[in-house]
């Protein structure tokens, strides 16, 4: 198959390549790779250590708990795989929080290099070479390999041609600044619970209006701070005002 013009290359540097490889064999990411929309390479940082024990970490200068990833194997991995020209991302709890707009921005890149953290941190000389630091949330996980999968999934699904339905991305939660409206499928009634009648009538204009109202309502109830930055029309603001009067 001829490679698509919008194809993206992603390189992942991690101490746990098998974790990432397992995920890449599944679902959307696997299909995107098979269709050559995206090429993902996973590099084991330990393979680039020069000593016989394949050491990748050491104790921090100045003392303190834990270990720090050494700069040498990471720089070697970048050198030997020609990764310096890519968009270099370090996954770190100190980074900017991953969101929809960030994923959409990164989906336009031709080459992304993801460095996964581990232990107590990474030598600052490595961090200084990165283009940006990204966090997937304010919590602690065992290693950056898990975070890399979150980032890859969020970015790849934004690439044109990846999802089967071209409208899917645009209707996702956060795509328009709001949470997604409720979804229903058959049967029309299940255990006494019915699908809203408006969805069964076939009037697409009314359905879109209902969905917009439900999206605004869900966002107001669950993530009201999103409404402060969403692109709301005068009609949206009127709907929100009416919703507030009922809750």
Domain boundaries, the chain: 8-156, 173-244
Q: Show the tokens assigned to 200.
A: 């069964």
Please check whether the domain covering 173-244 is classified as CATH 1.10.1270.20. Answer: yes
Strand order in the sheet with 68-69: 57-58, 68-69, 121-122
pLDDT at residue 99 greater than cutoff 90? yes
Displacement of CA 36 from its chain's centroid (Å):
20
Q: Which residues contact 126 (CB under 8 A, 6 or more apart)?
A: 69, 71, 74, 75, 90, 115
Residues marked as catalytic = 93, 120, 157, 172
Instruction: Name the CA radius of gyration of the chain, rounded.
Output: 22
- The predicted model gives 16-31 an average pLDDT of 94
Fold match flag (8-156 vs 173-244): no
pLDDT at residue 2 greater than cutoff 90? no
> What pLDDT, in 10s, does the model give residues 66-94?
999 999 999 999 999 999 999 999 999 99
CA torsion, ordered 9, 12, 17, 18, to nearest 10 deg: -40
Which candidate, 47, 51, 125, places its Cα nearest to that of 90? 125
> What pLDDT, in 10s, does the model give residues 167-203?
466 556 676 889 999 999 999 999 999 999 999 999 9
The DSSP letter of residue 236 is H
Please check whether the domain covering 8-156 is classified as CATH 3.40.50.10440. Answer: no
């Amino acid at each position: 198959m001829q490679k698509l013009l919008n194809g993206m290359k992603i390189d992942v540097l991690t101490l746990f390549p098998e974790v990432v490889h397992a995920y890449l064999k599944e679902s959307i990411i696997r299909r995107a790779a098979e269709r050559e929309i995206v090429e993902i390479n996973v590099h084991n940082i330990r393979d680039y250590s020069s000593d016989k024990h394949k050491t990748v970490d050491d104790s921090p200068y100045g003392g303190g708990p834990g270990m720090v990833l050494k700069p040498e194997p990471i720089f070697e991995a970048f050198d030997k795989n020609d990764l310096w020209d890519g968009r270099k991302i370090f996954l770190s709890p100190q980074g900017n929080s991953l969101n929809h707009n960030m994923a959409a921005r990164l989906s336009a890149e031709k080459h992304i290099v993801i460095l996964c953290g581990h232990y107590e941190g990474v030598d600052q000389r490595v961090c200084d070479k990165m283009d940006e630091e990204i966090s997937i949330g304010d919590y602690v996980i065992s290693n950056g390999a898990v975070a890399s999968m979150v980032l890859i999934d969020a970015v790849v699904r934004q690439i044109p041609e990846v999802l089967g339905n071209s409208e899917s991305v645009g209707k996702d939660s956060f795509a328009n600044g709001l949470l997604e409206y409720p979804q229903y499928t058959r049967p029309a009634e299940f255990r006494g619970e019915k699908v809203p009648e408006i969805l069964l009538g076939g009037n697409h204009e009314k359905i879109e209006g209902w969905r917009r109202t439900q999206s605004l309502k869900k966002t107001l109830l669950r993530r009201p701070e999103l409404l402060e930055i969403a692109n709301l029309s005068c009609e949206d603001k009127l709907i929100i005002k009416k919703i507030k009067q009922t809750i």
